[in-house]
Structure 1
Amino acid sequence: MMDIILTVLLWFSAIGCGLLAGLYFAFSTFIMRALDRTGAEAGATAMNAINVEILRSTFMPLFLGTTASSAILALIALIRWGEPGSLSTFLGGVLYVVGMFVVTMVFNVPLNNRLAKISSGDVDAVWRHYLDVWTRWNHVRTLTSTAASALFIAAIAAG
Structure 2
Amino acid sequence: MESPLIDALLWFSIVACGLLAGLYFTFSAFAMTALGRIETPAGVAAMNSINRVIQRSLFMPLFVGSSLSSLTLAVIGALHPGEAWACAALAGGCIYFVGMFVVTMLFNVPRNNALDASDPAAPAGQALWARYCREWTAWNHVRTLASTAAMILFVMALAAR
Note if 1:154 corresponds to 2:156. Answer: yes
Which amino acid is 1:134 matched to? W
Q: Which residue of 1 aligns with 2:100?
A: 100
Moved runs in structure 1, 4+ residues, more than 4 A? none
Q: Which residue of 1 aligns with 2:147?
A: 145
Q: Give the TM-score normalised by structure 2.
A: 0.96
Q: Which residue of 1 aligns with 2:53?
A: 53
Residues paired across the two proteins, number: 159
Q: Which residue of 2 aligns with 1:84?
A: 84
1:41 deviates by 1.1
Q: Give the TM-score normalised by structure 1.
A: 0.97
Alignment of 1:107-118 (within 5 A): 107-118=107-118
RMSD of equivalent CA atoms: 1.1
Q: Quick check: 121-130 or 143-152, which moved more? A: 121-130
Runs of 5+ consecutive residues of structure 2 not aligned to the other structure: none
Deviation readout 1:115-159 (Å, 9 max, x if unpaired): 000023132101001000000000000000000000000000111
Q: Quick check: 33-42 or 48-57, which moved more? A: 33-42
Percent identity over the alignment is 53
SS at match of 2:3: helix
Note if 1:75 corresponds to 2:75. Answer: yes
Deviation readout 1:82-124 (Å, 9 max, x if unpaired): 1121000000000000000000000000000000000231321
